[in-house]
Amino acid sequence: MADDAIFRIAGLGKAFGPNAVLRGVSLELRAGEVTVLMGANGAGKSTLVKVMSGVHHADGGSMQLGGNPFAPATPAEAMGAGVVTVHQNIDDGVVGALDVATNLVLDQLNAAGQGIFFNPRSIRRRAREIADRMGLELDLSAEVADLSLADRQMVAIARAMAHRPRVMILDEPTSSLSSNEAERLFTLIEHLRAQGVAILYISHRMSDIRRVADRIVSLRDGRIVGRFEDRPLDYEGAVNAMLGRSLGPRNITSKAATQPVFAAEGLQLVSGALPFSFELGAGEVVAVVGLVGVGKTRMAETLFGIHAPVDGQMRLDGRPYAPANPAVAIRDGVFLVAKDRAKTGIVPDFNIYQNMSLPFLRRFSQFGVARRRAERAAARRQIADLNVVCRSERDEPATLSGGNQQKVAVARWLSQPSRMLILDEPFQGVDIAARHDIAAKLRESAADRATLLFLTELDEALETVDRMLVMSEHTIVGEYLNREGDIDRLLADVAGGGRSAA
Amino acid sequence: MDSNLAEKPAAAMPETGSVRPRLPIRALLIRYGFLALLAGLIIFFSHATRGFASPQAAVFILQSVSITGILALGVTATLVVGGFDLSIGSIATSAMMAAAYVMVVLEQNALVAVLACLAIGALVGLINGIIICYMRVPDLLATLGMMFLLIGLQRIPTEGRSIAAGMTMPDGSTAQGAFSPAFLALGRHRFDLFIPNLVPAAVVVLIVLAVLIWFFLEYTRFGRMMYAVGSNARAAEFAGAPVKAYKIWAYVISGMFASIGGILLAARLGRGDIASGNNLLLDAVAAALIGFAVLGAAKPNAFGTAIGALFVGVLLQGLTMMNVPYYTQDFVKGAVLVIALVFTFALLGRNGR
Give the CATH number for residue A190.
3.40.50.300
A194, A167: one domain: yes
Contact: B17, A398; criterion CB under 8 Å: yes
Whole domain around residue A274: which residue ranges?
248-333+418-502
Distance CA B76, CA B305 (A): 7
Contact: B228, A336; criterion CB under 8 Å: no
Closest-CA residue of chain B to A412:
B239
Among A240, A247, A243, which residue's Cα sits nearest to residue A221?
A243
Domain assignment of residue A338, yes or no: no
pLDDT band for B349, please (50, 70, 90 cuts).
low
Distance CA B204, CA B215 (A): 17
* Residue A121 confidence (pLDDT) above 60: yes
Domain assignment of residue A124, yes or no: yes
Distance CA A303, CA A471 (A): 15
DSSP symbol at A391: S
* Residue B195 confidence (pLDDT) above 90: no
**CB of A404 less than 8 A from some CB of B:** yes
Domain assignment of residue A341, yes or no: no
A397, A431: one domain: no
pLDDT band for A174, please (50, 70, 90 cuts).
confident
User: Could you read off the pLDDT of B196-238 as tens digits, one per residue?
Assistant: 888 999 999 999 999 999 999 999 999 999 999 999 999 999 9
User: Where a domain ends, among A359, A394, A417?
Assistant: A417
A394, A314: one domain: no
A408, A458: one domain: no
Identify the pLDDT of residue A423: 95
**Average of per-residue pLDDT across B146-160:** 92
pLDDT band for A401, please (50, 70, 90 cuts).
confident
User: Where a domain ends, among A243, A262, A297?
Assistant: A243
**Three-state secondary structure string covering B276-329:** CCCCHHHHHHHHHHHHHHHHHCCCCCHHHHHHHHHHHHHHHHHHHHCCCCHHHH
* Residue B301 confidence (pLDDT) above 80: yes
Identify the pLDDT of residue B348: 67
A397, A477: one domain: no
ipTM exceeding the 0.85 mark? no
User: Could you read off the pLDDT of A271-329 as tens digits, one per residue?
Assistant: 888 999 999 999 899 999 888 778 899 999 999 999 999 999 999 999 999 999 999 99
- List of chain A residues whose C-beta atoms are within 8 Å of the C-beta of residue B18: 17
Domain assignment of residue A340, yes or no: no
Residue to mutate among A332, A351, A380, A401, with most B CBs inside 10 A, is A401
User: Could you read off the pLDDT of A267-280 as tens digits, one per residue?
Assistant: 999 988 899 999 99
* Residue A77 confidence (pLDDT) above 90: no
Contact: A347, B11; criterion CB under 8 Å: no
The total of structural domains in chain A comes to 3
Share of chain A above pLDDT 70, in %: 90
- List of chain A residues whose C-beta atoms are within 8 Å of the C-beta of residue B15: 16-17, 19
A39, A129: one domain: yes
Domain assignment of residue A493, yes or no: yes
**CB of A88 less than 8 A from some CB of B:** no
Identify the pLDDT of residue A116: 67
* Residue B15 confidence (pLDDT) above 80: no
A25, A133: one domain: yes
A51, A182: one domain: yes
Domain assignment of residue A206, yes or no: yes
Q: Nearest 5 degrees, angle CA B136-CA B137-CA B143?
A: 135
A305, A363: one domain: no
> Å from B66 to nearest chain A CA?
27
Dihedrals phi, psi of A89, to nearest 5 degrees = -80, 105
Contact: A402, B17; criterion CB under 8 Å: yes
Q: Nearest 5 degrees, angle CA B254-CA B256-CA B262?
A: 105
Share of chain B above pLDDT 90, in %: 61
In this predicted structure, which of A98-107, A357-366, B155-164, B171-180 has the lowest mean pLDDT? Answer: A98-107
A313, A204: one domain: no
Residue A316, C-beta contacts closer than 8 angstroms, at least 6 positions apart? A261, A262, A332, A333, A334, A419, A420
Interface of A with B in 11-30 (CB under 8 A): 16-17, 19
Beta-carbon-side half-sphere exposure of residue A141 (alpha carbons within 13 Å)? 2
- List of chain A residues whose C-beta atoms are within 8 Å of the C-beta of residue B4: 387, 389
**Average of per-residue pLDDT across B249-269:** 96
DSSP symbol at B173: -
**Average of per-residue pLDDT across A339-361:** 91
A86, A171: one domain: yes
- List of chain B residues whose C-beta atoms are within 8 Å of the C-beta of residue A354: 224
Contact: B299, A362; criterion CB under 8 Å: no
Q: Exposed e or buried b for every residue in A227-244, given b needs 16+ CB within 10 A?
A: bbeeeebbbbebbbbbbb
User: Where a domain ends, among A243, A258, A276?
Assistant: A243
Looking at per-residue confidence, does A192 or B13 come out higher?
Answer: A192
Distance CA A435, CA A63 (A): 35
**CB of A333 less than 8 A from some CB of B:** no
A429, A311: one domain: yes
User: Could you read off the pLDDT of B26-36 as tens digits, one per residue?
Assistant: 778 888 888 99
Domain assignment of residue A175, yes or no: yes
Identify the pLDDT of residue A496: 63
